[in-house]
Structure 1
Amino acid sequence: MNTSVNVRDVVLAGGKQTLAWRSKTAINGDELRAQVLLLARALARLDAHSIALWLPDSYDFLAAFLALALAGKRIVLPHTLQAGASVQMAEHFDALLAYEPQPALTCPQYSPSELMARGLLEPEREYSCHNPVAITLFTSGSTGAPQPVHKTLQELEAEVAVLAHDFPSVGASPVIASVSHHHIYGLLHVLLWPLYRGAPFVVEPVQFPEDLIEQLSRYGPAVWVASPTHLARIPQSTVFVASAPLLLEVFSSGGLLSERAAAGLTAKLARSPVEVLGSTETGGVAWRRQSDSPRWRALHEVELAQSARGCLLVRSGHLNLPDAFEMGDKIAMLDGHGFELLGRVDTVVKVEGKRLSLTELEARLSESPLIDQARAAVVRGRRDEVGVVATLTEAGAQALERSGKHKLNTQLRHYLSGFFDRPLIPRRWRYLEHMPSNAQGKVLMADIVRCLEERHS
C-alpha cells in the first residue's frame, strides 16, 4: 500500500494557515500542533494501549486523534457512548478519552484538559510519523449491535490520497459538516482529507437550514459534507436557494440519495451531489453524480467485480485484505467503468412463506406521487407483519390532512396490490416528518422496527 499522505507529518509542520473555525474564531496549524504535542506527551505516559476517543467537538477530536497516533496508541472509535452499547464495546479498549466520565464504564477515563495539564509537566520528545497505527471502528449492522472493524491509519491515508486524486476541484475550500466525525465517512471527509489539502473545517455541525445559510454566508464558497437524510430535508427550505450558489460541492454518503432528492438539488445547484458508496469495512469504493448518470463508477485504484451471489466484490489500496471483500449490495455490472445497484442482498425476507424484497417494496412506494422516502421492515410477533415508515410528498401530506390516515393507508395498499401478493402488503404504516437517523444521518433498521412496534395504526 503506497501513499504520499501522512497526516502526522502535516500536523507537525504547523504553520499560520487556518485549519479550523470554532465559534467564528480561526485556529491555525501552529495552534493545532501545540495542542497535539501536549496531548501526545501525556498519552505516551499512560499504561493503556487501546484508548477509546469520544469528543463531539470535531477540532478537539482531531487533535486527540493525531496525538494518539503520535503516541503509538491503538485508536478506538465508538459510534456511540450510550450505556448499553458502550459496555458492549468496552472489551476493545482499556481507557477512554471523553469530556465527562461515563458511569457505565469501569476503565480509566481522561478528559482533554486533564491530559493537556499533564502534558505541560512532561519533557518534549521525538515522535515517529511512520510507525503503524491500529484503529478500531464499529458498525451497527442491521441489528444495532456494535461490530468491530479493524483498520490502520495507513489505510485511511491511502483513501485520502484517492479522494484527492478523484476530486481535486474542492481545493482548499472550507468544509461544512452535517455528519459525525466518529464514523469513517465524517472522519475522512470532514477532518483528515481537509487537513491534508489545507482546507479549514467548521466545528459547529449543520443540522438546520438556518445553520447552513449562516455558515455559507460567513465561510463560503464551501464544501458541504452531508447524508441523504440531510439532503432530503434541508434544501426544502425556501431560504436555501439564495445560499445555493455558495456551495462549491456537496458530498453524500451513508445511504442512497433518492432520484427525487437528486433532481430537486440539481434544479437548485445545477448539478446533483457527489454520492460516495462504501462501508465501514471497505471505506469508499465508488461514486456517482445522478445529474450525469445513475451508474456508479469505481474510485481511483479500486477494482470491482461481481460475486457468485451477484454482489459487489471490492479490492483496493485502502482495503488491506488478502482477498476481495464481498459487500451486501447486489449489482448489475454494465461494463468496466460502471454498475447499477439492485438492492441489498439481506433485504429479502419471508412473510407467511412468501419471499419479499424490502428494497423492491421501498422502491415501488417511492415511485408513488404520495411518498417521498420509505423504509420497510418485518415486525415479528404472533403474526409477522410488514410495516412501512415513510415521509410524504406535498401531495401525500395534503391527502393525509384531507382524508385521514386510514384512507391514505388504503390508497397505498391498493397501489401496492398491483405488484405484491396480499400477505406481503404492509399492514403497519407510520408517517413522519423526517426519517429516524443516527448522528451520521444513516437510517438504521433497528430504528425502523422500533418505530413500527410503537403501533398507531
Structure 2
Amino acid sequence: MDFKFSNNLRRLAFGGDERVIAYRDGEPLNRTRLRADVLALYHSLRRSSEERVGVWLASGYDFLTVLLALALAGKKIVMPQNLQPQSAAELQPHIDALISDSPLDNLTCPQWQIRALALAGKESTENPPEVCFSRNVQLVLFTSGSTGEPAPIIKNLNDLEAELAALHGVWGAELDQRPVVSTVSHQHIYGLLHVILWPLARGAAFVDSVCHFPEPLAALAQAHPGAVLVSSPTHLARLPCSEPFVQASDNISVTFSSGGLLTADAAQAMESRCPAPLYEILGSTETGGVAWRRQSQSNVWQSLPGVEVSTTDAGLLQVSSAHLSNLPWFTMGDKAEMQADGRFELRGRADLIAKVEGKRLSLTELEQRLVEHVWVKEARAAVKRGRRDEVVIVASITHDAFEVIKHSGKRILNQGLREHLARYYEGPLLPRRWRFVEQLPRNSQGKLPQGDIVKLFEVTA
C-alpha cells in the first residue's frame, strides 16, 4: 500500500484505511479504528467549556487519539512531566481538566477518562468543520532546567509538524515505513515526535508499550523485524551488555538516541555489538531537535534541515529554526565551536556558578576535574544549603573504583578524590558528601536536575 509522507497530523487521522498504525499487546490497530476513536473523542471534547486540558496516558495510541481530538476541538494541550503528588499540585494552575488513566485525589479540576469521553461522543458521526484541520493549536510542555523547578514551554502544533518535516528530510528514505519500538515515554517531546507522530506521518506503526528492560525489547525486535529503536543514553549504555538483546539486534535497522549525550564508549559498544546505525539527536524541550551526529563516523554535529546555529560572544550555542516559532533565537546551555562548513563541536556545558561560604565555584569545572580522575566516568555537583553550605557529588565510577570500596572502604575513595580536587580548590569548596553509582540517575527526560541531586542527600545514608 503506497503512502506519501504528510505532516498534517489532523488530516492523517481521517485517512480511514486498513494501514496499521499501532500494535497493542500484539493486536494491530489501523487507521479506520483511529478515525472512529478520534471522531468520538472530538465530539465529546468540543462540547466542554474547559480550554486547557492536561493529558497523561500510559498508552501511546490513546495519547495519540486524545491529542488529535483536542487539536481538532481547538483546546490547549498540556503535557505534564509526571503525575507524582507534588508535580500534580504544581500542574493545577496550568489546567482546567485532566485526561488520565485514573483520577488523582489532590486535583480539584474535572478529571476525565478516555473510555467515558469516547462513549459520550460515539453517536456523532459528522466530520469536524474544515477550519478544525488548519487552525493553530497550543501545546504546553514542561522543562526542569537547571534548578529542578518545572517551567512551562509553549509550542504550537505547527512547530511539531515543521520538526517532523525536518526529521523526515534527513532519515525519511532510510526509515520508510519501518515499525518503531521504544524505551522512552511519549509524554515528552522526544518520544512524542519519534515514537508516535513521525511514524503516523510516514505511514509506519509503533508498538504501544514502553520497554524498560532488554529482554522484552529483544522479543519486540524479533516480532517486528526491521524495527526502528527510539532510546536514550541511559538505556543504550546497558543494552550491549544484554545477550538476549544482542542476539535479537539484527532485527533493529536504525537506533536513535536523545535526552542527553551518549558517551563515546556507549556509542562504540552499541555499534560494535548491534549492527544498526546509531544516530544522536541534540535538542531540548525549548528548541526541539537541533542537530545530529553518528559518533562512529564523526564527533561533529550537523544541523537539521531548516535549523540555523551560531555561537554567542560567550561561546554558547544559539538556535533559530522553523520549529521554534515563538522565538527568533534561543541560547542553549552548551558551549560550541563552529566549523567553516556550519557544523559544530560541543565543548561542554555552560558554567553553572554557585556561591559556597562566600566563594565563587564553577560546578561545571568541578565536574570536569572529577572526570579527569581514572576512577570517575561521569559526575554531577550541587550545593546543599543548610546551617553550613555543602558541595555534594553524585558520581558514576569505574570497576576499579568499586574494587577500592570493596577492599578498602568508601572513605579511601572519598579521600583520594578530595586529594585530587585539592590541587585545584580551597578547602571550603571541596565536596563533603558523595554518592557513588554505576550509572547516574536521570529522570524520564534523561536529565539530572540540580534539585534532584540535592534530594539524593536529604536522607542520611
- Normalising by structure 1, we get a TM-score of 0.93
Pick aligned residue for 2:397 from 392, 397, 400 = 392
- Alignment partner of 1:276: what SS? strand
Residue 253 (structure 1) shift: 1.3
User: What is residue 43 of structure 2 aligned with on the other side?
Assistant: 41
The verdict on how the C-alpha distance between 1:370 and 1:238 changes in structure 2, with shifts beyond 3 A counting, is: farther
Mapping of residues 435-450 of structure 1, within 5 Å = 435-450=440-455
1:144 is aligned, of 131, 144, 148, to 148
Q: Select which of 11, 15, 32 maps to 1:13.
A: 15
The answer to whether the Cα contact below 8 Å between 1:209 and 1:235 also exists between their aligned partners in 2 is: no
Question: What residue is the counterpart of 1:107 in the other structure?
Answer: 109
Q: Which residue of 2 aligns with 1:276?
A: 281
Give the aligned residue type for 2:31.
G
Q: 1:172 aligns with which of 169, 177, 180?
A: 177
Of residues 159, 163, 179, the one that matches 2:167 is 163
Secondary structure of residue in 1 paired with 2:120: helix
- How many residues in Structure 1 have an aligned counterpart in Structure 2? 454
3-state SS, counterpart of residue 453 of structure 1:
coil
Task: Give unmatched runs, 5+ long, in structure 1.
Answer: none
**TM alignment of 1:417-432, pairs within 5 A:** 417-432=422-437
| Structure 2 match to 1:246 | 251
Kept after mapping to 1: 8 A contact 2:300/2:343: yes
Q: CA deviation at 1:353?
A: 4.6
Does the Cα contact within 8 Å between 2:301 and 2:344 map onto a contact in 1? yes
CA contact (8 A) 1:228 1:256 kept: yes
Q: Which runs of 5+ in 2 are unaligned?
A: none
- Conserved? CA contact 2:396–2:438, under 8 Å: yes
- Which is worse superposed, 268-277 or 132-141? 268-277
User: By how many angstroms is 1:123 displaced?
Assistant: 4.8
Residue equivalent to 1:154: 158
Q: CA deviation at 1:135?
A: 1.1
1:70, distance to aligned residue in structure 2 (A): 1.4
Please say if residues 428 and 455 of structure 1, whose CA atoms lie closer than 8 Å, have aligned partners that are also in contact: no
- How far apart in 1 are the matches of 2:368 and 2:175? 33
The 3 A distance-change label for structure 1 pair 148 and 322 is closer
- Find the aligned partners of 2:261 and 2:324 in 1 and give their Cα distance: 22
| Bigger Cα displacement from structure 2, 443-452 vs 17-26 | 443-452
Q: Post-superposition shift, 1:289?
A: 1.6
- Residue of structure 2 aligned with 1:124, choices 123, 126, 150: 126
Q: Are 1:414 and 2:419 counterparts?
A: yes
Change (3 A) 1:422 1:257: farther
- Secondary structure of 1:149's aligned partner: strand
Which of the residues 224, 229, 237 maps onto 1:232? 237
Tell me, in whole angstroms, the C-alpha distance in 1 between the residues paired with 2:22 and 2:425.
52
Correspondence for 1:29: 31
**Structure 1 stretch displaced more, 115-124 or 421-430:** 421-430
Any idea what SS the aligned residue of 1:186 has? helix
| Residues 89 and 146, structure 1, Cα contact 8 Å, conserved in 2 | no
Q: Distance in 2 between matches of 1:238 and 1:400?
A: 28
Partner of 1:357: 362
Q: Which letter does structure 2 place at the counterpart of 1:239?
A: P
Q: Give 1:55 shift.
A: 0.7
Q: Could you say if the C-alpha distance between residues 250 and 232 of structure 1 is closer, same or farther in structure 2, counting changes exceeding 3 Å?
A: same
The AA in structure 1 aligned to 2:54 is: A
1:307 positional shift? 1.4
Q: Provide the residue aligned with 1:266 in structure 2.
A: 271
The share of aligned pairs that are identical, in percent, is: 46
- 1:5 is paired with a residue of what secondary structure? coil
Per-residue CA deviation, residues 30-88 of structure 1 (Å, 9 max, x unaligned), is 11111111111111111112211111211111111111111121111111122222222
Structure 1 residues 131 and 124: CA distance shift in structure 2, 3 A = same
Deviations 1:340-380 (A, max 9, x none): 22233252333345443333333343344433332222222
Is contact 2:45-2:117 (8 Å) kept? Answer: yes
RMSD, matched Cα: 2.1
Which residue identity lines up with residue 371 of structure 1 in the other structure? V
**1-side partners of 2:269 and 2:366: how far apart?**
23
The separation in 2 between residues aligned to 1:264 and 1:418, in whole angstroms, is 34
| 3-state SS of paired residue (1:167) | helix
Alpha carbons of structure 1 residues 198 and 90: separation in structure 2 relative to 1, 3 Å: same
Deviation at 1:424, TM superposition (A): 3.5
Separation of aligned partners in 1, 2:421 and 2:93: 46
Q: Which moved more, 1:13-22 or 1:396-405?
A: 396-405
Match of 1:453? Answer: 458
Q: What is the aligned counterpart of 1:98 among 85, 97, 100?
A: 100
Q: Residue 39 of structure 2 contacts residue 125 of structure 2 at CA under 8 Å; is this kept in 1?
A: no
Q: Go from structure 1 to structure 2 and tell me whether the alpha carbon gap of 1:454 and 1:228 turns closer, same or farther (over 3 Å shift).
A: same
- 1:186-225 alignment, distance < 5 Å: 186-225=191-230
Following superposition, the deviation at residue 19 of structure 1 comes to: 0.9
Q: Tell me the CA shift for residue 455 of structure 1.
A: 3.9
- Counterpart amino acid of 2:138? A
Q: Is the 8 A contact 1:10 1:195 kept in 2?
A: yes
C-alpha contact (below 8 Å) 2:252/2:276 kept by paired residues: no
**Partner Cα separation in structure 1 for residue 68 and residue 43 of structure 2:** 12
TM-score of the aligned structures, taking structure 2 as reference length? 0.92
